[in-house]
Amino acid sequence: MSDPSVTTRELSRARVSAQKGALMRTLIALWPYIWPGDRADLKWRVAWAMVLLLVAKVATIIVPFTFKWATDALSGHPSAPVFAASWLGWVVAAPVMLTIAYGGMRILMAVLTQVRDGIFAKVAMHAVRRLAILTFKHMHELSLRFHLERKTGGLTRVLERGRNGIETIVRMVILQLMPTIIELALIVGVLFWQFDWRYVVVILGTVAAYMLYTYYATEWRISIRRKMNESDTEANTKAIDSLLNYETVKYFVAEEREAKRYDRSMERYEDASVKTYTSLSVLNAGQAAIFTAGLGIAMVMCAIGVRNGTNTVGDFVMINAMMIQLYQPLNFMGMVYREIKQAVIDIEMMFSILQRDAEIKDKPNAPALQAGKGAVRFENVVFSYEPARPILKGVSFDVPAGHTVAIVGPSGAGKSTISRLLFRFYDVSSGRILIDNQDIRDVTQVSLRSAIGMVPQDTVLFNDTLRYNIRYGRWDATDAEVEEAARLAQIDAFIRLSPKGYETEVGERGLKLSGGEKQRVAIARTILKAPPILVLDEATSALDSHTEKEIQDALDRVSRGRTTLVIAHRLSTIVHADEIIVLESGRIAERGTHHQLLARNGLYASMWNRQREAQEAREKLAQAGEDDLAPNRNPPKVKEDDISDEEDIAPRTPADALGG
């Protein structure tokens, strides 16, 4: 089986289709996938499908002739073939032989068509697969900004409909449109030869009127179909969003509210769907009327010819059979155009996503990062998500190899932005970030992110097994290495107590696990990745004090000997850092060790004192039996400080947990 990977050249082909003239451009863009130049076996399939197509259409044209000859033989017309055959002592007359031939040709026609479809199926689905992978990979290449602006449910729906649309186009063009054109050409030739030019004019006029009506009716239906798709996407997005937030819905007893919200979207989808089916009925009725009119005219002409002696009853039957036989592919012709147009609508968004350039790109021929000891340097870094709102304003600091530097500060100070810039989810507005004296913009993104491990505050796991989620840190790790990483992260004992052990499913986003268990999984896969640089982004701020102490011990072990950047919320977790940097409004307000910063009695000391007061308040409540561990009690939450674990820019997404 060929590698489904795609190239930049293939991407440029698909992008063409998002421009004006989408129908023809889409067909042109898809042709290289229908005729795959790198697969000899698929080329042979295409060639055989074309041969069978021609043979099947010749058989299709012969069918009305056998019907005519059988009819003329039954009516005793002298033009009918006269022959007989002896079979097992029975004499089979010409009408019977011709009737058998009629049935045999219809069987041959059907068999050849089905064999052709079966042979071509591999070609069609290979094209679907290549383009689906193209879109899927490109979605991963787009920036974090793009994914923060989109809803996951909407993106998956776009991918699904686009994939189905591609399949429709490939199947319709080769298996319906081309056969119909060939059959129409053969019928026109037969009518001109067997009858006269007047029948050709009637047939061509009928086809022209049919296609013209189909075109305008389909164009009218396009806007209706687009509204139905938009309503479908909206309803699907709301459903996924609500189900992903199942616990929140339960906390606030919002089931009825969510149901009404979803029903409003479904109501719009219902109205759009009714209009879609109604317009389809109008289209089908008009097509049937036009074709029946053409059929009636041709049969009247032939009936007059029978009366005048220029045609036989067989000719009358033949013209009817040929027109009825033409109706099916002609009806398919209308359906082909309609389905292709609708498929183009379905893949419009897919092509628009393919057309969108990745915000973060590797430079041409960029080398891989040569990660040695992993020294990190920020040099006068300026960054803003939006030009009018700067986040970092000339931040400079060093994280020497093997050292730990912590970054603290109030909400919106730019703490988490620093980790995103280090991973190069965004590029700096000015200044530069260096790893071992290499500008991260000059090296490949793959090598950069391979050198950095992340333990985020909110670990989002895949809906798979514990083994799968730990192995995500290094995919080629053995089972023994996975289990050793789990042991170092202090989660191996917990896993072995589970009935399925490492094959235990963690549920959607890891919801079957507690916060501490998810953090240990994140630590385990970071241990397995074994990067020289480690980023701890608020890794314990959402945990209780007991779990925090255990997780902190595991983090201390995994960070030992590594260059570590800690985005801290609880100051007690970074008192032993080699340097603490205090951010305020995008600038470094203070820096030094824990004791140095306390001695200055500045912003850091103020935050430290507030957290100490909060801790003392909790201890007093615990002594009074009112702490959060007491059964059946819900004490008021004590505010520790005004330090948030979130930036003031956008909600977190799974992309925040790259590698973790």
Asked if residue 399 and residue 344 are part of one domain, the reply reads: no
> Helix (H, G, I), strand (E, B), or coil: what is residue 512?
coil
Asked if residue 381 and residue 275 are part of one domain, the reply reads: no
78 occurs within a structural domain = yes
- C-alpha span between 159 and 136 (Å, rounded): 8
Q: What is the pLDDT of residues 290-311, one digit of tens each?
A: 888 888 888 888 888 888 878 7
Asked if residue 225 and residue 133 are part of one domain, the reply reads: yes
Q: Contact, 73 vs 67, CB < 8 A? A: no
> Helix (H, G, I), strand (E, B), or coil: what is residue 280?
helix
Asked if residue 417 and residue 341 are part of one domain, the reply reads: no
Q: Could you tell me the two tokens for 654?
A: 């799974």
53 occurs within a structural domain = yes
Domain total for the chain?
2
| pLDDT score for 2 | 43
Task: Give the pairing of strands 579-584 and 404-408.
Answer: parallel
Query: What is the longest distance spanned by two Cα atoms in the chain?
Result: 120
CATH of the domain at 278: 1.20.1560.10
Residue where a domain stops, chosen among 288, 320, 355: 355
**Which residues, in sequence order, are CB contacts of 649 under 8 Å at separation 6+?**
385, 391, 417
Asked if residue 244 and residue 102 are part of one domain, the reply reads: yes
Which residue segment(s) compose the domain that 449 sits in?
376-458+533-657
Asked if residue 447 and residue 327 are part of one domain, the reply reads: no
- C-alpha span between 314 and 301 (Å, rounded): 14
486 occurs within a structural domain = no
Which residues in the chain land under pLDDT 50? 1-20, 84-92, 627-660
510 occurs within a structural domain = no
641 occurs within a structural domain = yes
**Which residues, in sequence order, are CB contacts of 454 under 8 Å at separation 6+?**
419, 423, 522, 526, 534, 535, 537, 657, 658, 659, 660
Asked if residue 425 and residue 351 are part of one domain, the reply reads: no
Asked if residue 132 and residue 44 are part of one domain, the reply reads: yes
| pLDDT score for 398 | 92
| pLDDT score for 234 | 81
Predicted TM-score (pTM) of this structure: 0.59
41 occurs within a structural domain = yes
Asked if residue 186 and residue 41 are part of one domain, the reply reads: yes
| pLDDT score for 378 | 93
CA-nearest of 613, 582, 622 to 598 is 582
Q: What is the pLDDT of residues 337-379, one digit of tens each?
A: 767 777 777 666 666 666 666 677 888 888 988 888 889 999 9
| pLDDT score for 634 | 46
- C-alpha span between 470 and 481 (Å, rounded): 10
Residue where a domain stops, chosen among 321, 355, 389: 355
Asked if residue 614 and residue 561 are part of one domain, the reply reads: yes
Asked if residue 381 and residue 433 are part of one domain, the reply reads: yes
| pLDDT score for 427 | 87
584 occurs within a structural domain = yes
Q: Could you tell me the two tokens for 88?
A: 């097992």
CATH of the domain at 436: 3.40.50.300
| pLDDT score for 621 | 75
516 occurs within a structural domain = no
